[in-house]
Amino acid sequence: MLVSVTLNPCVDHALFVEKFAVGDTNRVMRVEKDAGGKGVNVSRVYAELGGDTAATGFLGGPTAGTIRHVLELEGVEDAFIKIAGETRTNFSIEDNSGTPPTTLNSKGPDILPTEWEKLLVDCKELARGARWAALGGSLPPGVPDDAFKILGELFHEAGVRVILDADGFAQKHGMLASPDFIKPNAAEASRLLGVPIESDLEAVEAVLNLHQRIGGGTKIAVISRGSSGAVMATDGGVWVGRSPKIPTTSTIGSGDSMIAGILWGIDTGKPPEVALRWGLAAGAATAMTDGSGIARLPMIEDLYDEAIVEAKLV
């Protein structure tokens, strides 16, 4: 089973306008509302692919009901704990200009010390039936700066492999727990490593560096590169993947979907290059979906054959 931990989940509101104008009145043509947050997205796509998954973290207030309802509909076990604060709401503004959405992300509710301690207790229980734990996203006020290090070590002590997808100080602290699978995007990896990542060669060198930083061996390092695809390093080699050529609608949740696709491939016994193709297909399928919607299985299957993966000699 996959356990995802989303400390700062959200309800995403996608607002669609004809042409967004800053400083002017914009008429909203339609609004789409969906559950969001990195771990939530990973669990949803993993379940869509047929995997067994539970999602935990903090939920509170009226917005929590939206997330719980989505998890129930999509076959994700709801293991979130109830908090006194209210789960945040994020907004994205999309128009027909072809430019990326404008996003407005709230900081999230204040988490009480007792709520943090309750989460740790619950995670120890969830770890008993888990093979993987996905840690990702931002940290809400009130949780320790090294929350992902604490959680990573907790799951490792139970023999659970840890996935990390975070940025900034949350990522740096999480790296100290030696995650088994890390997937920053190119910008995040560039900040972490202090090197530019634009060409294939730079991406390959960076993913090898990341693989060594988390301990090498059977661990997995992936750098997602948007429409350019992704690179992956394991003990079996390095692969460069090309995403299917698609009309991108929204990139929200695309990287999370890639994690779910790769993980599903690994868990079903696929070789690394095939697992990466599933990840590329899942990420592309989500990128074709409006707002914060996630990939659906028929679309993922259709795009799988269009994803290209090549081994690189290093």
Can you give the CATH number for the domain in which 251 is found?
3.40.1190.20
Which domain does 151 fall in, by range?
Answer: 2-19+29-312
pLDDT of 291 > 70? The answer is no
pLDDT tens, residue by residue, 212-250: 999 988 899 999 998 899 999 999 899 999 999 988 777
Helix residue spans in the chain (DSSP H): 38-48, 64-73, 113-127, 147-157, 168-175, 186-193, 200-213, 254-267, 272-287, 297-304
pTM score above 0.85: yes
Asked whether residue 114 is assigned to any structural domain, the reply reads: yes
In angstroms, the CA 145 to CA 149 distance is: 9
Asked whether residue 24 is assigned to any structural domain, the reply reads: no
In angstroms, the CA 60 to CA 37 distance is: 14
Mean pLDDT of 292-302: 90
Q: Please, which pLDDT band fits residue 313 given cuts at 50, 70 and 90?
A: low
In angstroms, the CA 126 to CA 119 distance is: 10
Asked whether residue 218 is assigned to any structural domain, the reply reads: yes
- Write down the mean pLDDT value for the chain: 94
Enumerate the active-site residues. Answer: 256
Q: How many domains does the chain have?
A: 1
pLDDT tens, residue by residue, 50-79: 999 999 999 999 999 999 999 999 999 999
pLDDT tens, residue by residue, 130-156: 999 999 999 999 999 999 999 999 999
Closest CA to 101 of 301, 264, 246, 291: 291
pLDDT tens, residue by residue, 152-188: 999 999 999 999 999 889 999 999 999 999 999 999 9
Asked whether residue 113 is assigned to any structural domain, the reply reads: yes
Instruction: Provide the percentage of residues in the chain whose pLDDT is more than 90.
Output: 85
